[in-house]
């Protein structure tokens, strides 16, 4: 009886070890998002264009992406989104939405595939400016306007001092003569109740 | 053709194999593999932002590519043109994976064999030559491919024309399971597509 019990315990332990060994040790790393503050990311990923025709902007984004060698993956005109991938490595999602009465805002987000099943977010302002917004504004014949942060209150780290200049007012536009920074004008009632 | 291979894997296996080969050949092979791994490490292990900047750059021959990929049709009926493009792609064996007539987009793909007799023969010959010099070499050639196409139609402002741009690209998997992607810039493939599209819409596609 005693020996049987001991054998049972040993068997159970062995089974536990075997089961544990079956667990995948090489789990795929999840998507890695940028560690930069949300305000900074929003500033580099967002531009406004002086047009109210958001369908035209969406069409132009598609044309620009195609011109840059991206293959279109998904388009959703009612939501104003388009996702495209270049050479299976670089994927970019752009979202278009109207702002106020005469402006359309474009936000782009790019991910790079670093290994199978693992993507890393691109957080280089130069990439968004030179590899997306510059070609886009050329296609639209409109300047890409820097958007001032719309609601910093939502951010986890409100780093803009009340009197100071936003730290990312124009970090990415120094090499872009076409982009003229401008203070965004908030539509009335933007801040909500 | 754009060929990119971004994998941060150093070829350790080759140097291990080199130790088994005696004498000078071993040293040479080891030196070669060290040089090779150094080169690979230099090109392969870039930061995601650097990869994005490099991959995101416009294709080298962007203007030429645009001309090859684009035709103009004398029509105002964009949905009909898209429907004709969908039919043409189906005739060519593609499966439609995404379409949005509101913004003139059509995406399709197909899987095909990528084996070419010439490439296989060259690899086998290379293996035999390597065997003569006692250098281990594992032959590798392209096995299959996934061809994808994005068709985008754009009405030309102040005219009665619609521009159709089709971009083909492909992902090729070799016998070792490695995948590489490239844009297809062979004018013959585009000509074949546009010829079929033209006959489908009973209209002549004008090059840019």
Quick check: B53 and A127 CB within 8 A? Answer: yes
Inform me whether the C-beta atom of residue A53 falls under 8 Å from chain B C-beta atoms: no
**Backbone φ, ψ for residue B197 (5° rounding):** -65, -45
pLDDT in tens, A113-137: 988 888 999 999 999 999 999 999 9
Q: Judge if B152 and B136 occupy the same domain.
A: yes
pLDDT category at A158 given cuts 50, 70, 90 is: very low
Q: Judge if B80 and B155 occupy the same domain.
A: yes
Quick check: A77 and B53 CB within 8 A? Answer: no
Cβ atoms of B167 and B183 closer than 8 Å:
yes
pLDDT score, position B115? 85
In the predicted structure, residue A156 carries a pLDDT above the cut 50: no
Its pTM surpasses 0.80: no
pLDDT in tens, A31-51: 889 999 999 999 999 999 999
Domain assignment of residue A70, given as a range: 38-150
This model of the complex carries an ipTM of 0.74
Inform me whether the C-beta atom of residue A34 falls under 8 Å from chain B C-beta atoms: no
Task: Tokens 């005219």: give the residue.
Answer: B159
In the predicted structure, residue B156 carries a pLDDT above the cut 70: yes
Nearest Cα residue to A183 out of A159, A133, A149: A149
In the predicted structure, residue A182 carries a pLDDT above the cut 80: no
Q: Judge if B160 and B130 occupy the same domain.
A: yes
Quick check: B55 and A87 CB within 8 A? Answer: yes
Structure tokens at B141: 């050639």
pLDDT score, position A15? 60
Q: Judge if B91 and B122 occupy the same domain.
A: yes
Within a domain: A171: no
Cβ atoms of B173 and B141 closer than 8 Å:
no
E strands, B37-194, are 70-73, 95-100, 105-113, 142-155, 162-174, 179-183
Min Cα distance A134 → chain B (Å) is: 12
Q: Judge if B85 and B158 occupy the same domain.
A: yes
Q: Judge if B126 and B172 occupy the same domain.
A: yes
Quick check: A73 and B107 CB within 8 A? Answer: yes
Domain assignment of residue B68, given as a range: 62-207
pLDDT in tens, A68-86: 999 999 999 999 999 999 9
Quick check: A89 and B55 CB within 8 A? Answer: yes
User: Which residues of chain A have a CB within 8 Å of the CB of B184?
Assistant: none
- The B-side interface with A (CB below 8 A) comprises 2, 4, 6-8, 48-49, 51-53, 55-59, 62, 65-66, 98, 100, 102-105, 107, 148, 150, 152, 154, 165, 167, 169, 171, 179, 181-183
Q: Judge if B115 and B38 occupy the same domain.
A: no
Within a domain: A189: no
pLDDT category at B38 given cuts 50, 70, 90 is: very low
CATH number assigned to the domain comprising residue A71? 3.30.310
- Alpha carbon dihedral B170, B173, B174, B176, in 10-degree steps, equals 160
Euclidean distance between CA atoms B43 and B59, whole angstroms: 19
Q: How many domains does chain B have?
A: 2
Q: How many domains does chain A have?
A: 1
């Amino acid at each position: 009886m005693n020996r049987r019990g001991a054998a049972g315990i040993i068997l159970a332990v062995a089974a536990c070890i075997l089961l544990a060994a079956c667990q995948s040790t090489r789990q795929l790393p999840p998507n890695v998002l940028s560690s930069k503050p949300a305000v900074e990311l929003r500033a580099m990923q967002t531009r406004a264009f002086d047009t109210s025709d958001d369908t035209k902007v969406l069409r132009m984004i598609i044309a620009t992406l195609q011109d840059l060698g991206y293959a279109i993956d998904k388009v959703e005109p009612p939501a104003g989104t388009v996702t495209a991938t270049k050479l299976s490595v670089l994927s970019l999602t752009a979202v278009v939405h109207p702002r106020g009465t005469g402006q359309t805002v474009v936000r782009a987000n790019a991910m790079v595939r670093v290994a199978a099943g693992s993507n890393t977010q691109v957080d280089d302002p130069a990439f968004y400016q030179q590899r997306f917004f510059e070609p886009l504004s050329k296609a639209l014949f409109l300047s890409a306007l820097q958007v001032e942060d719309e609601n910093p209150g939502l951010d986890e780290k409100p780093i803009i001092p009340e009197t100071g200049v936003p730290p990312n007012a124009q970090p990415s536009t120094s090499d872009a003569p076409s982009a003229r920074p401008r203070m965004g004008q908030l539509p009335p009632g933007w801040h909500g109740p | 053709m754009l060929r990119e291979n971004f994998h941060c894997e150093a070829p350790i296996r080759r140097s291990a194999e080199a130790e088994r080969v005696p004498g000078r050949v071993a040293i040479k092979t080891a030196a070669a593999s060290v040089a090779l791994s150094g080169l690979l490490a230099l090109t392969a292990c870039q930061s995601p932002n650097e990869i994005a900047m490099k991959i995101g750059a416009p294709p080298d021959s962007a203007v030429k590519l645009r001309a090859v990929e684009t035709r103009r049709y004398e029509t105002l009926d964009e949905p009909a043109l898209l429907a004709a493009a969908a039919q043409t792609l189906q005739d060519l064996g593609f499966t439609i994976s995404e379409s949005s007539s509101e913004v003139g987009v059509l995406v399709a793909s197909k899987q095909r064999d990528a084996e070419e007799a010439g490439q296989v023969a060259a690899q086998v010959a290379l293996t035999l030559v390597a065997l003569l010099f006692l250098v281990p070499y594992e032959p590798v050639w392209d096995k299959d491919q996934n061809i994808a196409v994005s068709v985008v139609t754009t009405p030309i402002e102040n005219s009665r024309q619609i521009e159709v741009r089709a971009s083909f690209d492909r992902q090729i998997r070799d016998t070792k399971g490695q995948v590489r992607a490239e844009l297809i810039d062979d004018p013959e493939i585009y000509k074949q597509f546009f010829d079929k599209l033209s006959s489908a819409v009973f209209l002549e596609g004008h090059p840019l």
